[in-house]
């Protein structure tokens, strides 16, 4: 019989203790935090699934590269290694380092967009949207219609609605769409992948109309792996070749290396446009740093150079995608409502279906996230009525899995905690908002149980 167990393809060399608290302590901690999990000290969290951004574990090769970091202000060989690694995968002419993804976004939109412009995306991430709007442009989401069905397991729910994009281009004045963006994977849409077929169709449309196509490439390796296992014709190709094929369809990208760069900090902006690159580098010098380090130390550039390559290793991606599916499938098989299929970096609980007796104005996602902490010290994040107020179409609780950090027994524990909360769901009450900031209120809001 062939061995089918998928294991963590690494062994652990350095360990960090995590702290168990009692239920009574967690009750007090929640009260002190105003029932807002962002306000908990991380030392009081047992399993932290707040985000997969910058929370991964670096490899021995990355730590070795850190020691090679050259901290010269200009002309550092660490930048050469960073640029070469990025170019090998992404293939773009100009590589501009930034301290994280949103800095790349600010520089891109600050140079390419004007007031009144329109930027279409399959779904803008919140910092992407904010940076588009900051320059007075309009951010428009064009997800495929399948994305609107949380329970339906379509293979490529991250796709863009190509027909809607075409209509938008046709009815918009020429020159008012400075670029189209494709976010891979589609984070706000549930960590769902974009197919090569869809990217090809978007690219062809953009080229026909002379509009540049940029990728928001944060989770490009996870997206490539989904293409390999789900899209006809790709099973025999390596994730790197798939990523290269996808990036060749575009003209540039923004990247947060805190995701598939496998680093704790870092990002970059790429473009094939020489004139634009000149303007972008001028802006970079003003706010991030000299073009051979951007907002990063030489050692960070080294960690990203190695991490980008490691993110594409097939054994790692197989384990990564399998461990997310393992969590999602185990709870879904017991009836827990989740966004289907499980995404590339996270499982999303459908809090409205989990707690049908708690109406959206009583924040079912916040109530559920609080219960997961109370039951087992697990931190997740609400993506729903607290985060988006009246604009929320769903109330979700995202369980984002940091890269190479937790083992299968941690995930088994998370499954057990979720199922325990599921058993007593009818007794869970909604929440009342006590205090809120005028914008991005979810970070600081104070709540209490009803
Ligand atoms: C799709 C997407 N784009 C952009 C960003 C912004 O990256 P950063 O947090 O490094 O600024 C994120 C971060 O979560 C993201 O998920």
Band of the pLDDT at 437, cuts 50, 70, 90?
confident
54 CA distance to ligand 1 middle (Å): 10
* Count of alpha carbons within 13 angstroms of residue 3, beta-carbon side: 3
* Ligand 1 nearest atom to the CA of residue 258, by list position: 10
**φ, ψ of residue 395 in degrees (nearest 5):** -115, 110
Band of the pLDDT at 390, cuts 50, 70, 90?
confident
* Ligand 1 nearest atom to the CA of residue 100, by list position: 10
252's enclosing H/E stretch is strand 252-256
**pTM of the predicted model as reported, rounded to 2 decimal places:** 0.95
Instruction: Evaluate: CB of 187 within 6 angstroms of ligand 1.
Output: yes
In this predicted model, what pLDDT tens digit does every residue of 8-59 receive, in sequence order?
A: 999 999 999 999 999 999 999 999 999 999 999 999 999 999 999 999 999 9
Contacts of 17 (CB under 8 A, 6+ apart): none
Instruction: Evaluate: CB of 52 within 6 angstroms of ligand 1.
Output: no
State the CB neighbour count (10 A cutoff) for residue 277. 22
pLDDT, position 190: 80
* Ligand 1 nearest atom to the CA of residue 219, by list position: 1
pLDDT, position 439: 75
79's enclosing H/E stretch is helix 77-90
Contacts of 316 (CB under 8 A, 6+ apart): 9, 310, 404
State the CB neighbour count (10 A cutoff) for residue 437. 10
- 268 three-state secondary structure: strand
* Lowest mean per-residue pLDDT among 57-66, 145-154, 226-235, 363-372: 145-154
Whether residue 391 has pLDDT greater than 90? no
Pseudo-torsion of CA 233, 150, 445, 374, nearest 10°? -100
Residue nearest to atom 14 of ligand 1 (CA): 53
- 299 three-state secondary structure: helix
229 CA distance to ligand 1 middle (Å): 25
Instruction: Evaluate: CB of 127 within 6 angstroms of ligand 1.
Output: yes
C-alpha dihedral sign at 157, 162, 164, 168: positive
* Ligand 1 nearest atom to the CA of residue 186, by list position: 1
414 CA distance to ligand 1 middle (Å): 25
Per DSSP, helices labelled H in 239-273 are: 239-247
| For residues 127-150, average pLDDT | 91
Query: Ligand 1 pocket test: which of 50, 51, 53 has the largest number of ligand atoms within 8 Å of its C-beta?
Result: 53
Mean residue pLDDT across the chain: 96
Instruction: Evaluate: CB of 100 within 6 angstroms of ligand 1.
Output: yes
pLDDT, position 150: 81
**Is omega for the bond preceding 185 within 30 degrees of 0, making it cis?**
yes
* Ligand 1 nearest atom to the CA of residue 256, by list position: 10
pLDDT, position 242: 98
Instruction: Evaluate: CB of 216 within 6 angstroms of ligand 1.
Output: yes
Band of the pLDDT at 266, cuts 50, 70, 90?
very high
In this predicted model, what pLDDT tens digit does every residue of 190-199 receive, in sequence order?
A: 899 999 999 9
Band of the pLDDT at 7, cuts 50, 70, 90?
very high
In this predicted model, what pLDDT tens digit does every residue of 87-138 receive, in sequence order?
A: 999 999 999 999 999 999 999 999 999 999 999 999 999 889 999 999 999 9
The CA distance from 260 to 54, in Å, is 10
| For residues 241-247, average pLDDT | 98
* Ligand 1 nearest atom to the CA of residue 267, by list position: 10
Whether residue 189 has pLDDT greater than 80? no
C-beta pairs of 194-197 under 8 Å, 24+ apart in sequence: 194/122, 194/156, 194/158, 194/159, 194/160, 194/223, 195/155, 195/156, 195/159, 195/227, 195/230, 195/231, 196/227, 196/231, 196/234, 196/242, 196/245, 196/246, 197/231
Strand pairing of 252-256 and 213-216?
parallel
pLDDT, position 178: 98
Instruction: Evaluate: CB of 223 within 6 angstroms of ligand 1.
Output: no
- Burial class of residue 287 (count of CB atoms within 10 Å of its CB; 0-12, 13-18, 19+): middle
């Amino acid at each position: 019989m062939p061995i089918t167990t998928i294991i963590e393809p690494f062994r652990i060399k350095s360990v960090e203790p995590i702290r168990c608290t009692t239920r009574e302590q967690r009750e007090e901690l929640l009260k002190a935090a105003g029932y807002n999990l962002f306000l908990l000290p991380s030392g009081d969290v047992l399993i932290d699934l707040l985000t997969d951004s910058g929370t991964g574990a670096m490899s021995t090769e990355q730590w070795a590269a850190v020691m090679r970091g050259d901290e010269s202000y200009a002309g550092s060989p660490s930048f050469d290694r960073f640029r070469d690694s990025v170019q090998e995968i992404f293939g773009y002419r100009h590589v501009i380092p930034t301290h994280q993804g949103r800095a790349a976004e600010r520089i891109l939109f600050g140079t390419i967009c004007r007031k009144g412009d329109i930027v279409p995306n399959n779904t803008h991430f919140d910092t992407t949207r904010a940076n588009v709007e900051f320059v007075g442009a309009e951010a428009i989401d064009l997800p495929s219609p399948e994305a609107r069905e949380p329970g339906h397991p379509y293979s490529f729910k991250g796709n863009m609605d190509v027909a809607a994009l075409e209509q938008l281009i046709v009815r918009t004045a020429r020159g008012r769409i400075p670029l189209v963006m494709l976010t891979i994977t589609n984070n706000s849409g549930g960590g769902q992948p974009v197919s090569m077929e869809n990217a090809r169709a978007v690219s062809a449309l953009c080229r026909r109309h002379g509009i540049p196509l940029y990728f928001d490439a944060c989770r490009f390796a996870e997206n490539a792996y989904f293409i390999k296992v789900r899209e006809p014709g790709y099973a025999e190709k390596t994730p790197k070749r798939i990523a290269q094929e996808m990036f060749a369809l575009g003209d540039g990208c923004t990247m947060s290396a805190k995701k598939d760069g496998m680093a704790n900090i870092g990002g970059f902006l790429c473009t094939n446009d020489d004139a634009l690159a000149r303007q972008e580098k001028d802006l970079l010098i003003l706010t991030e740093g000299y073009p051979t380090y951007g907002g990063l130390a030489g050692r960070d550039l080294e960690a990203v150079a190695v991490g980008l390559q490691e993110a594409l290793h097939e054994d790692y991606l197989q384990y990564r995608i399998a461990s997310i599916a393992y969590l999602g499938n185990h709870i879904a098989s017991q009836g827990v409502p989740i966004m289907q299929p499980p995404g590339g970096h996270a499982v999303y609980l459908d809090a409205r279906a989990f707690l049908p007796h708690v109406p959206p104005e009583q924040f079912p996602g916040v109530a559920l996230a609080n219960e997961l902490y109370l039951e087992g010290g697990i931190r997740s994040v609400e993506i729903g009525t607290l985060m988006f107020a009246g604009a929320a179409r769903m109330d979700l609780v995202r369980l984002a899995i940091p890269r190479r950090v937790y083992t299968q027994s941690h995930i088994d524990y998370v499954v057990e905690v979720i199922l325990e909360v599921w058993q007593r769901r009818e007794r869970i009450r909604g929440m009342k908002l006590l205090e809120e900031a005028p914008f991005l209120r979810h970070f600081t809001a104070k709540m209490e149980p009803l």
